[in-house]
Structures are given as C-alpha cells and as structure tokens.
Amino acid sequence: MEFKVSKEFIHQLEEHIVKRNDNELEILLNDLHHADIAEILDELDFDEATYIFKVLDSDKTAEILLELEEDLRENILSRLSPKEIAEELDELETNDAADIIAELSQEIKAEVISELVDVEHAKDIVELLRYDENTAGGLMGKELVKVNENWNVLTCVKEMRIQAENVSRVHSIYVVDDENRLKGRLSLKDLLTSSTKTQIGDVYIRKLNFVNVDTEDVEVARIMQKYDLEAIPVVDELGRLVGRITIDDIVDVIKDEADKDYQLAAGITQDIETNDSVLELTKARLPWLLIGMVIEIVASFVLKDNETAFQKYSTLIIFVPLLSATAGNIGVQASAIVVQGLANGTLKEFSRSYFSKEITVSMISGSIISLLLLGYHSLMYQQYLVGIAISISMIVVIMFAATLGTLVPLFLHKNKIDPAIATGPFITTTNDVFGIMLYFGVAKLILGF
C-alpha cells in the first residue's frame, strides 16, 4: 500500500525532533521506503530535514538523497562534511554516486572522492564524471555481470558469484572476449542446463542490443522502449563493454523529456519547477509572451486595414475570434501528432502519405465546420453571400493551419531544434496573423470590397 504523508505524521515527527528523541524517529521511519522518507523530508524545513537525515543510517539515507528535491539535497549536502558525503556515496551504485558528485563544487568534489573507502568504486565514479550527463556514458552504471567466452560453465558460475556481490539486480549476463569487447549475452537457462565443462563460446547468444557511450539519452530511451529492455549494455569506441543502463534510469529520462516537451508546448523556454523563484519563473515564461504580443500586434494591423469591410459587412468581425480559435486548435492538433510521431520513431521525416492524410482530415473537418457555420450565419443574419465568404475562408484557414502544424515540427526536427516548440504559442500566434490575412483575402475576392 502506498504511504501517504499526513499532517498528523509530520507533527509527530516535529515533536520528536524538538525533544531529540532519535530512537523514536528511527522507529517511525525505519519501515518506510526511501522514496516515502524523501517525500516527508520535503515537507519539513531544512534544519528538521537535515536532523532526521543525520539520525538515519547511511545505507538508507544514501537512497533518500536520490529522491530528494534538488534544493533540499543541495542544502543537506552543504551541511555534511566531505567524509560524511563519501559515506553516503559508498552505499550507492556508481551512476547514482556520480550524479550526486556532479552537483558539488569542484573543491568539495575532489575532497569527497579522496574520502571514498572503496578505491575501485572511486575510480569508476571518476570515469563516469567524464561523460556528458545527457549521453549513455552519463547514464550508465559500472555494476554488471560479465563472463569470458573462453571460460567453461563451472568457471563462469564461480566468477558470477563474486561479481554479483556488487550488483543489486542482475538483469543480464554479458559475454566478452579477452580484450573486453562485447560479444553477446548468456541465457540463464542455457547456463543452468549446460554441462560444467561446456565452453561459454558454444552457448552464448550473439545477437543483442547495445549503445555507444556517446549515444544521446533520448535515443537510448527509444531503443529500450522499442525492444522492451530492462537493461542495455554500453560500449566504447573500440566495442569494449564499459557499463550498463537499467530501466529505472531510463524512466527518469522519459519523465524529464516529457516535462520539457510539455513546458515547451506551453511556451516555457527553460526547465523550471514549482518551487523555483519568481525571477526564474518569469524569465522562463516571458520570452514567448513577448513574441506572442508582437505577433498579435501585427494581427491588429491586419484588422485595422480592413475597417472598411467591417463597416460594410459587420458580421465579418464577429467571426474573427472563432476563426482564430479553430485555426489554432487545428494547428496544435496536427503538430502534436507529428511531435508524438517524431518522439516515438513512427515518423522520422517528411512523408507524403502522412501529409496527404493530415490534409484530408483537415479538409473533412473544415468542411463540416464551414457548413455548420454557413447554416448558423444564414439563419441568424440572412446575408447568404457573406455567409458563403466566411465559410470558404474558414476552410482555407483550417487547411493552412493543418499544413503549418504538420510541416513546422518536421522542419524544426530536421534542423536539430526541439519540435515540441511547435505545439504551443508558436503555432497559435502564427495562425492568428496568417489566418486573419487569408480570411479577409478570401472574403475580399468573394464580396469585392
């Protein structure tokens, strides 16, 4: 059952903190999952959270560190000595330890590394710090189980027992040659059913998915999602096995990418959180608001240039908000589907068949909306020619919006720009200007003003 943080529980903890009842605090928190404790610490102030953190054992607090909000983790780490931080990192897998060390200042980072008890663990962490955090090298952990293709099954089992002591979960058994080059993977079933004298080279599976240390994290996520993998090996430029990436790390990548795309679609240009400062929130949100303001000013000039038409055909202005909203919705829908296709790999570049499909959908949708609009206008205003002009204009604008919504994300993707930008204010504001221009252009042709 999922643990829910209650006000009563928080109040109980605060009372024990004030009275310095360390034993009671341990009893209350001991059976909780580290993610639940992290959630509790986020509800407390910095001093209370730090106190509880120091009360608990390092084998538990190490995992808690990973789940904390960034600000709280930074504050807690600032109150720990390099030796205390090293004790926490000694309990973590290499990739998690490297992530935390990367957040420290250069000076503290060196001190913490020098305090790590396990020299091999320290060397692995230092190696991981060399890689960009958004690559497979930055995601991978060094903990894995590997066997040599020249070993027999008996030797293999002995070596695996030794290696497994440092691995929390054994997802796969990787097979390497004498140069540590990745050759394949070993099935546990084949290992158990083979004679102890059988050579690993005779039974291992040669076909497996792997990524290079420089592969982008989103590409790693796509591969693991496509092939439904719990873990994937990572190789260097020479094909040598250097680490593995597990599904829990990829879930974080997928979540972060989804959050980023959601914010871009809303016109937020930077990665922000609800607990960021007012200045950070403003800086992230203001740019697209200013761009939108400029574009809408352009749209206002288009309206001003058609004042004569409003005086003669007053109903034209009444339907401008409907036109803008419909075109914006059509454009966002079209771009959202394209962005989704680019993200999951079902659409990699411009496709005539898909473009034709999108245009057909928009034509059907536009025709239905336009017919309903013509019927409404004729019923309410009895200006049949004006109604026809508005209806035809609506079809043209919808077709334009669908075209823009389909092609812009593909253009951005081709030029290495995140296409999620095209699912928000960019499409809606651009449609406003060009949509209004098309609207009055078509109406002028039909009504002759």
CATH code, 200? 3.10.580.10
CA distance 221 to 261: 15
CA distance 401 to 93: 50
**Domain contains 293:** yes
CATH number at residue 406: 1.10.357.20
238 and 316 assigned to the same domain: no
Indicate if the pLDDT at residue 245 is higher than 90. Answer: yes
**Domain contains 273:** no
Indicate if the pLDDT at residue 324 is higher than 80. Answer: yes
**Domain contains 108:** yes
Q: Which two tokens stand for residue 287?
A: 């740019």
- Long-range pairs for 71-78: beta carbons < 8 A, 24 or more residues apart: 71/275, 72/41, 72/42, 72/46, 73/100, 73/103, 74/103, 75/46, 75/49, 75/50, 76/46, 76/49, 76/50, 77/103, 77/104
Indicate if the pLDDT at residue 328 is higher than 70. Answer: yes
Indicate if the pLDDT at residue 266 is higher than 70. Answer: no
288 and 415 assigned to the same domain: yes
Q: How many residues does the chain have?
A: 449
Q: Out of 83-92, 219-228, 283-292, 395-404, which region has the weakest mean confidence (pLDDT)?
A: 283-292
Residue 240 pairs in a beta bridge with 181
Indicate if the pLDDT at residue 448 is higher than 80. Answer: no
The pLDDT value given to residue 1: 64
pLDDT in tens, 337-351: 888 888 777 787 888
- Average pLDDT in the chain: 86
Amino acid identity, residue 448? G
118 and 160 assigned to the same domain: no
Q: By C-alpha distance, which of 115, 116, 146, 140 is closest to 128? A: 140
Indicate if the pLDDT at residue 422 is higher than 70. Answer: no
**Domain contains 207:** yes
Using DSSP's 3-state secondary structure scheme, residue 179 falls into coil
253 and 162 assigned to the same domain: yes
29 and 60 assigned to the same domain: yes
The pLDDT value given to residue 203: 93
**Domain contains 139:** no
Query: How confident is the model over 294-298, as a mean pLDDT?
Result: 77
**Domain contains 356:** yes
106 and 149 assigned to the same domain: no
Query: How confident is the model over 194-214, as a mean pLDDT?
Result: 94
Q: Find the largest Cα–Cα distance for the chain.
A: 96
Indicate if the pLDDT at residue 106 is higher than 90. Answer: no
Higher-pLDDT residue of 186, 3: 186
Using DSSP's 3-state secondary structure scheme, residue 303 falls into helix
Q: Which two tokens stand for residue 42?
A: 């986020």
Share of the chain above pLDDT 90, in %: 35
206 and 295 assigned to the same domain: no
Domain that holds residue 374: 278-447
The pLDDT value given to residue 261: 67
Name the phi and psi angles at 14, rounded to 5: -60, -35
Query: What CA–CA distances, in Å, run from 44 to 4, 96, 233?
Result: 15, 24, 40
Per-residue confidence at 264, pLDDT binned at 50, 70, 90?
Answer: low
57 and 158 assigned to the same domain: no
Query: How confident is the model over 283-305, as a mean pLDDT?
Result: 75
Share of the chain above pLDDT 70, in %: 93
The pLDDT value given to residue 310: 65
Residues 112/89, Cβ–Cβ less than 8 Å: yes
Residue 416: CB atoms within 10 Å = 6
157 and 32 assigned to the same domain: no
The pLDDT value given to residue 279: 77
Indicate if the pLDDT at residue 440 is higher than 90. Answer: no
Q: What string of DSSP letters covers 306-328?
A: THHHHHH-THHHHTHHHHHHHHH
The pLDDT value given to residue 449: 66
Give how many domains the chain has, as a whole number.
3
**Domain contains 173:** yes
Using DSSP's 3-state secondary structure scheme, residue 294 falls into helix
The pLDDT value given to residue 392: 92
Indicate if the pLDDT at residue 313 is higher than 80. Answer: no
The pLDDT value given to residue 239: 96
Indicate if the pLDDT at residue 262 is higher than 80. Answer: no
Q: By C-alpha distance, which of 297, 338, 351, 301 is closest to 423? A: 338
CA distance 429 to 435: 10
107 and 149 assigned to the same domain: no
The pLDDT value given to residue 309: 66
- Of 202, 231, 262, the residue that ends a domain is 262
296 and 419 assigned to the same domain: yes
Query: How confident is the model over 195-210, as a mean pLDDT?
Result: 93
Q: How many helices (H) and strands (E) does the chain have?
A: 22, 6
Query: How confident is the model over 231-253, as a mean pLDDT?
Result: 93
pTM (2 d.p.): 0.70
- Of 96, 129, 162, the residue that ends a domain is 129
**Domain contains 270:** no
305 and 366 assigned to the same domain: yes
Phi-psi region of 448 (alpha: psi -120 to 50; beta: other; left: phi over 0): left
pLDDT in tens, 33-63: 888 999 999 888 888 888 888 888 877 888 8
Indicate if the pLDDT at residue 297 is higher than 90. Answer: no
CATH number at residue 88: 1.25.60.10
pLDDT in tens, 387-418: 898 899 889 999 999 998 899 888 888 887 77
Per-residue confidence at 178, pLDDT binned at 50, 70, 90?
Answer: very high
The pLDDT value given to residue 272: 61
- Of 95, 129, 163, the residue that ends a domain is 129
Q: Out of 129-133, 152-156, 314-318, which region has the weakest mean confidence (pLDDT)?
A: 314-318
218-222, 251-255, 320-324, 340-344 — which one is most confidently predicted on average?
Answer: 218-222
